[in-house]
């Protein structure tokens, strides 16, 4: 059976390396995404079996992209590809619905094993990261973040990047008053009180680099 894969990775050289690694057996790349928003669209429209998801991408990071894919295309498996020492980000991706993770430097055999495992409904935790640390971050996940809507998360990310309300409104194509309402609701939900606290929260949650 052919396994259809969407490869979400913003660095072209890394994408090419992964494509070369996957160019064997029954693995077929049906789409390449260089940002989180494109990854979501491809997950919805290309009918992949698995999305290989980088965590650090422009426009929308891999954690939020994973969350939205799982909401919009719940049957699609998401396998996070990461570098070493990223236990906190991986835990956030697993909380968002990722089915497992593997290191970017994994061999063809390891990557094939990971893909096969998540397609079988297993949660694949690859070698190279500390499972204990991943589970510690999972059990110690900060409350409140899951209560934010997708739009509130977008607004929070832009606030953390230093954009003003008018700039956020322009970027998202919404009214300034709508941005103000989102900001108020975000502060209430997270029990935060100013832009600095919002930015700190977003950075700690890995919403911006």
Q: Which domains does the chain possess?
A: 3-139 (3.40.50.2300), 145-204 (1.10.10.10)
The DSSP result for 43-91, as a single string, is: HHHS--SEEEEES--SSS-HHHHHHHHHHH-TTSEEEEEE-SS-HHHHH
Flag whether pLDDT at 50 surpasses 80: yes
d(CA 3, CA 115): 9
Plot region of 149 (φ>0 → left; ψ -120 to 50 → alpha; else → beta): beta
User: Could you give the percent of the chain with pLDDT greater than 90?
Assistant: 40
The answer to whether the beta carbons of residues 114 and 133 sit under 8 Å apart is: no
pLDDT at 71 over 70: yes
Cβ within 8 Å of residue 192, ≥6 positions away:
186, 198, 201
Query: What pLDDT score does 65 carry?
Result: 93
pTM, 2 dp: 0.65
Q: Which residue has the higher pLDDT, 131 or 144?
A: 131
Cα angle 68-140-205, degrees, rounded to a multiple of 5: 45
Joined together, the tokens standing for residue 24 give: 């064997």
User: Considering the chain, what is the average pLDDT of its residues?
Assistant: 84
Structure tokens at 30: 């049906």
Residue 80: name the closest of 53, 40, 48 by CA: 53
pLDDT of 20 strictly over 90: no
């Amino acid at each position: 059976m052919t396994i259809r894969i969407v490869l979400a990775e913003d660095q072209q050289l890394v994408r090419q390396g992964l494509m070369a690694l996957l160019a064997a057996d029954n693995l077929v790349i049906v789409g390449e995404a260089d940002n989180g928003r494109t990854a979501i669209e491809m997950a919805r429209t290309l009918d992949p079996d698995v999305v290989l998801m980088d965590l650090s991408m422009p426009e929308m990071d891999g954690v939020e992209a994973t969350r939205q894919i799982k909401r919009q295309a719940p049957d699609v498996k998401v396998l996070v590809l990461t570098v070493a020492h990223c236990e906190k980000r991986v835990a956030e991706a697993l909380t968002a619905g990722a089915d497992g993770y593997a290191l970017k430097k994994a061999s063809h055999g390891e990557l094939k094993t990971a893909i096969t495992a998540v397609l079988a409904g297993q949660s694949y935790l690859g070698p190279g990261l500390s499972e204990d640390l991943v589970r510690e971050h999972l059990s110690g996940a900060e409350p409140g973040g899951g209560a934010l809507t997708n739009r509130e998360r977008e607004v929070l990310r832009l606030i953390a990047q230093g954009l003003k309300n008018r700039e956020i409104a322009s970027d998202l194509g919404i009214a300034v008053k709508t941005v103000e309402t989102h900001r108020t609701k975000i502060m209430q939900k997270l029990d935060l009180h100013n832009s600095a606290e919002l930015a700190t929260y977003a950075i700690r949650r890995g919403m911006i680099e």
